Structure 1
Amino acid sequence: MSKITVFLSIILVAATLAAGCSGGSRAVVSEEAVALQRAQAQRAKTESLNRQISTVSDRFASRARQSDYPLGAGDVIDIAVFQVDELNKTVRVNGRGTIILPLLGELEVAGLTAQEAEQLLVERLGEYLHDPQVSVFVSEYRSQEISVVGAVNDPGIKNVNRSRTLLEMLTLAGGLDEKAGGQVYVQTADIDPDTGERLARNTIVDLRQLLRSPEYNFILQGGDTVFVPEAGIVFVEGAVEKPGAVALEQETTVLKAIAQAGGPKYEAIEDQVQVIRQTESGEPQIRLVDLEEVRKTGENDIVLEDGDIVVVGINSFKRGWRGFWRGFAGIFSVGVGL
């Protein structure tokens, strides 16, 4: 081999190494930029969602009316009986959940709303008066504790002096943080009408439904708990650059999850991406997504749920062809170095 050939080979190798290094540097910078953009986009989405929560909360705050509030120990109520001043009283519900009134004695009112307490007094006074007219008004509420925990900005036990809606409690907890998932778990307590015991009831509320429909904006009371879990994970496998677990953000779709996994490889089968989801019966449910159609129309992209598995199939012919070119490139580079 001549000196000129050796010299040219050295230059070629050096240029190749330099290009490789610069390309790797660009890749690192690119990944950092993508991660930064993704974080900024998630922050902006969370801030927008919190603004919606605050707005809708203000709009439907009146749902937690006094008439929905159950009386309990520590509450102060004003009782007025029309044209019977002697029975007009301001009383505090004692630790036993009762009040003591002239003529009627001790009455249990804990767990009753103001309207139900009125009806009770009408029935009891009806034994002594003709068609009594009674009003009950809560003049002072006892302090109640409602817990808001999980992925919120200010988790903890919140002291409130009246019933609050679910959206109000999320607002009092500073709104959602950037790790919040798309669901809220609510534990409330119903009173058993037969035994008077508090029975726990757990409900899962989708945030999108909560913002759209006031029926999901539950009225909460002392002792209730709101839990906002962090976003779950989905698994992206197959012909993607970075297979593995992907954080499930709010409204993560198949296309977004694959992008988070580095995007599809050259040999990916993009028109038949599988989404595998476990049903309540334990049987896997498989749905297909055409990425090419999603890119063109923006439709038919599936919103993923915690635990979903996304499988991008591999085109064997493309993979073989890619392997052939890699082998050929390797042989060529060895030949140049000789």
Structure 2
Amino acid sequence: MKKRFLKYLLLGWITVSLPVGADTVLPQPGVKTNSSPATAGVSLVSSNQSNSVYPGDTLYIEIPGQIEMSQNYDIDPDGNLHLMIVGKVNARDLDLSALALKLTELYRNYIGKEEKVTVRLVEQKRYVHVTGGIRYPGWYRVSPFMELEDLILMAGGLLPGADTAGIKLKRLMPEKQQELQLKDKITLYPNDTIIIPWPKDYREIVDAGDLLFIRIPEKQPPVRSINVESFRLQEALTQNQIEVDERGSIALPIYGHLYVKNLTPDTIKERITERLPLYLTTSEAVEVSIIEKKQYINIFGHVEKPGRYNIPENGNIQIAIKTAGGAIDGAILSDVIIQREVNNRLDKYKVNLYQYIITGDNRLLTPIHENDTIFVPISSSFGNVKRTLMPWTPPQSRLEKDTKKKVKILGAVTNPGIYEPFEDMDLLDLMVLAGGQRYEADISRIDIVRNNKVTVQFNLNQFLKNEDPAEIPKIYTGDTVYVNFLQNKMFEPGEDRVIYVDGQVETPGQYKLYDQMTVLQAIALAHGFKSWADVEHIAIIRTVAGKQENIFYNYRRGVSGKYPEVNIYLEADDVVIVP
């Protein structure tokens, strides 16, 4: 049982403890009240103290004799708890006593015969959906008792032109769906939807970080020198894509800087037109539109690359953390914190990312606002930590001793490193933990080193093709697996006919040019695109008769097979730029 318990202990549970006042009254869906729709939310609950638990609540569960398992747990939006060892437990429509009795039976094999599990309500929260004319629509985990004004501020405030007069609440009750008018104090039930009317004349405005399309009908001066910065400048000019900086300004070659924050695209168009020569100031001269809404946020704590990032406005917290290189081993995924300044005060919102990874429920992902700070904490113990999603990296002083109890995988895999073994682990299990093989891996030659010598040489390629009847090798504590690389020729900078690949690719640099090499082959040599690459606007810079030419390439059209004319062959000294 101890081995089984430790296996579960490696997963990732943690919550935060907040006191609940003795006079707090819990909303009870289905309780009949005397409130009219016009005053919905002012008094929609019984005056009696309720012991029931609801989605969004945080409970402290004490399991006798099991210190590591006795902690705070969140109830997910569907009313489920996700507990150590016993897994998912439905707690909806149960009171604290009934839930304690249910858990006592589930943990019977792990506690004494006369011992009982105890459950205490720590914090009341509700998952509600805010939509319509609001700055950041989405699902929020909020207090069941709120001022309408505070709820609006939490969701980023109203859009310009929207007001609170027509705000409605939709609530799914056992009998039917209710629709209520909201004002002042409100009481929220699980999965309530708050609908804010759209403004009658809404025009989207530009914010810091946004990516704009700006076309100014004037040929730009040629770039004199070929270097990384000039490539990026030329790319920006030819692609017509300009990103708004953190100050809210854009840099227009020739025409200077322009402050555009909180302006509409039409207003920006007018401001640019004012700076143009008279012969270009026609109504059709300038085009301005928003390609993508983006925003600057901070990502700190136990992540690979803490810092400030510009991410898509509709990106969730998981995407944000991945942008910072992902969480590091020891990160407490169930207690990720969003820090946000609201009305000169610093508010904190907890996101249980571990629960999201289990359920895939988007209601758990609180929307990210501009200038939010996401903080990923680190565990001080081996409980409640992220263990097998990334390589294990202990302090150097413990490395030699502790790695004897681990397994290593090296060579042509995505995440080579040291991993925690588990019962009945085989070669495929370990390769999955390491993110799979890289494109240049030779999976027909995988070596397993045991007791300081190669004891197994396995052809995984034949196994996957059902050409090898041998069983997949087992992996044991202390093993080292090496996935060999294909025997490729390295490209040296001094070779004659070369091309250059720059921008949003994994390995920018200089590569040898082969006969009839295509853009797709060049990108493959550079190990493919990065996450934020704009694959539809790739630029090829070529010098012809002493003059620079720009050729544009759409990767999606190229790989579709429907447009053979886009299969461009590269020439010596071509520069491929992926924006």
TM-score (norm 2): 0.20
Considering Cα pairs closer than 8 Å and 6+ residues apart, tell me whether 1 or 2 has the greater RCO.
1
Which protein has the larger Cα radius of gyration, Structure 1 or Structure 2? 1
The structure with more helix, counted as a fraction of residues? 1
